[in-house]
Copies of this chain bind each other. A is one copy, B any other.
Amino acid sequence: MDEKPSHSSDSLYVKTFRRIPVVFYLIKWLIITLLIGAGAGTASAWFLFSLEWATDFRESHLFMIALLPLGGLAVGLLYHYFGKRVEKGNNLILEQIHSPKKILQFRMAPMVFGGTVITHLFGGSAGREGTAIQMAASIADQFTGLFKLRPRDRKILLIAGMAAGFGSVFGTPLAGAVFGLEVFFLGRIRYDAILPAFMASVFADHVTRMWNAHHSHYSVSFIPEADFQNVLYAIVAGICFGLAGRAFAKATHKWGGFLKKHIKYPPFRPVVGGVIIAALVYLTGTTKYIGLGLPTISAAFSEPLPAYDFAAKLIFTAITLGAAYKGGEVTPLFFIGATLGNALAYVLPMPVAVLAGIGFVGVFAGAANTPLACTLMAIELFGAEIGIFAGIACVTAYMFSGHAGIYSSQVIGMPKH
């Protein structure tokens, strides 16, 4: 277990003794991650179907948006009376990884599933990774008792669960695996969960695909050479992405704190947020900034968009999530990043698809402090050629986003500079 580096202890006995545990380790985690993959992949698939349905229904029944405050009230009441122990969501999982205490309740999965579908059905601006991660982690954690896992193994299990949820909901298994390893410490990766994270994410992604759930595709056809000038542009863009990620995290925290301070009864907070969102949609006359915003994300790769799109989405999402609607931050961060990249094409001489692509992952890299996962995500979504620009932009965004990201239970493992 705590094998020391040594070139001397080579008796057959030691060799055999050394080899066996890793084989057991592999078989144990192969079985567990296959189960996690089946559960998390299935949950992600059904969740993606439900989101598609909710989005389509809302877009063809726009009056639904006026009912957002009621939807928010329903979810608020549900969590207040039945979900006290699961309402911290992603942060609860991160806390359990750092100091394992109580098994996650299974109800976390159906509650966050239902809560998120309601957010999207009634037109909140939110994402889906939080939901996928919470479903996957709470499903995974049910195996803790079943397999009588020790606290150290439970930590690995939770990391694998997060990886499985993330990888399957976005169709990016490598990014999912590294996200699981990267997210709980800021500035540090530890490899004790590396094999389970990779296996769980790959298996879950495959299960989601077996259900025929499909993921969005984006096309980045031409990537310029990574000469000094273009790399410098990517750095400049990365700074903007990092500051946007920082602004988003701050705005959401601040608005959430403001509501908490002034509205003592939690179920009323989403009501206030819902009223504001519904009013904003009515005033602006567009549904562009609510929901997942997938059509606008796609458009950001090919056509000029208003330069304020990213700011509008940032405001809509901060209002929604700060008011405790369920969902996630990541897809709105993709939207903010892709449209901010699109806007930067007005000033930086780089192809709009490249700027949209590196923005897509860059703002998220800054806000979640996960630059390597985001670099891999760009490669999985847009191809290997964007790798250098994505890597530079994500790492720069990470450097410029400050130490307080979207996950407040993330522990600082290493200051950034």
Binding site for B on A (CB under 8 A): 1-7, 10, 18, 21-22, 25-26, 30, 34, 173-174, 177-178, 187-192, 194-195, 198-199, 202-203, 205-206, 226-228, 231, 235, 239, 250, 253-254, 257, 371-372, 375-376, 379-380, 383-384, 387-388, 391-392, 395-396, 398-400, 402-404, 408, 410, 412-417
Measured between beta carbons, the chain B residues less than 8 angstroms from A226 are: 173, 202, 205-206
Whether B187 lies near A191 (C-beta < 8 A) is yes
- Tell me which of B191, B239, B404 contacts A414 (CB under 8 A): B191
Provide a sorted-by-A list of 14 A–B residue pairs whose CB atoms are within 8 angstroms: A5-B408, A5-B412, A22-B417, A25-B417, A173-B226, A187-B190, A188-B188, A190-B414, A192-B416, A192-B417, A198-B392, A198-B395, A202-B231, A383-B384
Question: Please, how many angstroms separate the alpha-carbon atoms of A417 and B191 in the complex?
Answer: 9
**Please, how many angstroms separate the alpha-carbon atoms of A73 and B343 in the complex?**
63
Provided the pairs A7-B257, A192-B187, A417-B22 are in contact, do residues A387 and B398 lie with their beta carbons within 8 angstroms?
no
B191:A7 contact, CB within 8 angstroms:
no
Most buried by B among A30, A192, A391: A391
Question: Contact at B203–A5, with CB atoms within 8 Å?
Answer: no
A376 to B400, CA, bound (A): 24
Option from B2, B191, B202, B227 in Cβ contact (under 8 Å) with A392: B202
CA separation between A18 and B243, bound complex, in Å? 12
Say how far A398's CB is from chain B's closest CB, in angstroms: 7
Q: CB-CB < 8 A to A395: which residues of B?
A: 194-195, 198
- The answer to whether A228 and B254 touch across the interface, beta carbons within 8 angstroms, is no
Q: A178-B372, A376-B376, A383-B384 are in contact. List 13 more A-B contacts (CB 8 A).
A: A4-B412, A5-B403, A30-B235, A173-B226, A173-B391, A187-B190, A187-B192, A188-B189, A191-B414, A202-B231, A202-B391, A202-B392, A383-B383
Chain B contacts for A206, CB-based, 8 A: 226-228, 231
With A206-B226, A399-B25 as contacts: A7 and B254 at CB distance below 8 Å: yes
**B3 A174 Cβ-Cβ under 8 A:** no
Contact B384 A5 (CB under 8 A): no
Q: Is the CB of A417 within 8 A of B5?
A: no
Closest CB-CB distance, A217 to chain B, in whole Å? 13
Q: A416 is contacted by which of B7, B22, B371, B399 (Cβ under 8 Å)?
A: B22
Q: Which residues of B contact A178 (CB under 8 A)?
A: 372
A203-B228, A379-B379, A417-B22 given as contacts; is B398 within 8 A of A191 (CB)? yes
- In the assembled complex, which residues on chain B have CB atoms less than 8 Å from the CB atom of A191? 187-188, 371, 398, 414, 416
Q: How far is the CA of A34 from the CA of B262 in the complex (A)?
A: 52
The smallest C-beta distance from A132 to any residue of chain B, in angstroms, reads 19
Bound Cα distance A34, B80 (Å):
55
Given that A7-B250, A403-B4 are known contacts, is A417 also in contact with B187, CB under 8 Å in the complex? Answer: no
User: Separation in Å of the A259 CB from the closest CB of chain B?
Assistant: 14
When distances are taken between beta carbons in the complex, the residues of chain B under 8 Å from A205 are 226
Q: Please determine whether B388 and A190 come into contact, CB atoms closer than 8 angstroms.
A: no
A231: chain B residues at CB < 8 Å are: 199, 202-203, 206
> Which residues of chain B are near A415, meaning CB under 8 Å?
1-3, 192
Q: Which residue from chain B places its CB closest to the CB of A239 in the assembled complex?
A: B26
